Amino acid sequence: MNALHCSDAIACIIPCKPYHQAKTRLANCLSLEQRIRLSRWLLRRTLHLVRRHLSCLVVVSRDPQVLKDAIQYGGLPIEEEGHDLNAALIQASQFVLTRGIAGTLILPIDLPFLNDKDVRALLHTTVDAPAVVIAPCQHGTGTNALLMRPPLLIPFQFGAASFARHVASAQAMGIQPVIVHTPGLAFDLDTPEDWDAFCERFVSPQSPSRLQRI
């Protein structure tokens, strides 16, 4: 990938916590080593999947190992300047905006059931700019994907009740956001209950439910 230019109209921005700080809510289920292995698997899977649809994939993190993995798996690494998710997304959006990008897709790595159909649902529902596309979490409170054309159209408000906040921000600008509901976009791997559901549904021999094999 050319680090100075992205050819797609939309860039995918993937934020990633330092591996040793990721998935702390799974500490009762998995050891630190297993959580690190899981996070690396999720990053690799996300990049490989989205790369089939977009050529400009940006990974923003303050973890040097995450950034190395981003390069290995086909992403463009951006070293996070602070310790706040929303600030990191602004930083990455400003980066791609200077490279001719017309829109951004914010996508976390913790969507283990994300598939090609889900990515197409996000990209193909985009109407003419200005536009906002949002995929809520399974509880209807969080934001599991956020597409904006142009970048930085509305403020990033990831955190508690982010879905309602993102919808309200779009509507305040006179934009009716497109809401995308799919099982793959709704399920995020965060809690021990999520882990149990993941292990029950994920049957691939490559899955982290068989972490010893990775």
Six token digits for residue 25: 């809510």
Number of compact structural domains in the chain: 1
Asked if residue 1 is part of any domain, the answer here is no
Taking CA atoms, 92 is separated from 88, 133, 158, 185, 213, in Å, by 6, 18, 15, 22, 34
Asked if residue 5 is part of any domain, the answer here is no
Asked if residue 3 is part of any domain, the answer here is no
For residue 202, the model assigns a pLDDT of: 75
Asked if residue 62 is part of any domain, the answer here is yes
Close Cβ partners of 207 (under 8 Å, ≥ 6 residues apart) = none
Six token digits for residue 115: 């598939």
For residue 2, the model assigns a pLDDT of: 39
Asked if residue 4 is part of any domain, the answer here is no
For residue 129, the model assigns a pLDDT of: 87
Asked if residue 86 is part of any domain, the answer here is yes
For residue 1, the model assigns a pLDDT of: 38
In which domain, by residue range, is 68 found?
Answer: 10-213
| CATH code at position 139 | 3.90.550.10
Asked if residue 185 is part of any domain, the answer here is yes
Asked if residue 2 is part of any domain, the answer here is no
For residue 148, the model assigns a pLDDT of: 96
- Summarised one tens digit per residue, pLDDT across range 142-193 is 999 999 999 999 999 999 999 999 999 999 999 999 999 999 999 999 999 9
d(CA 88, CA 156) in angstroms, rounded, equals: 10
Mean pLDDT for back-to-back runs of 10 residues, the chain (214 residues): 56 97 94 96 97 96 98 96 97 94 96 97 85 96 97 96 98 96 97 94 58 48
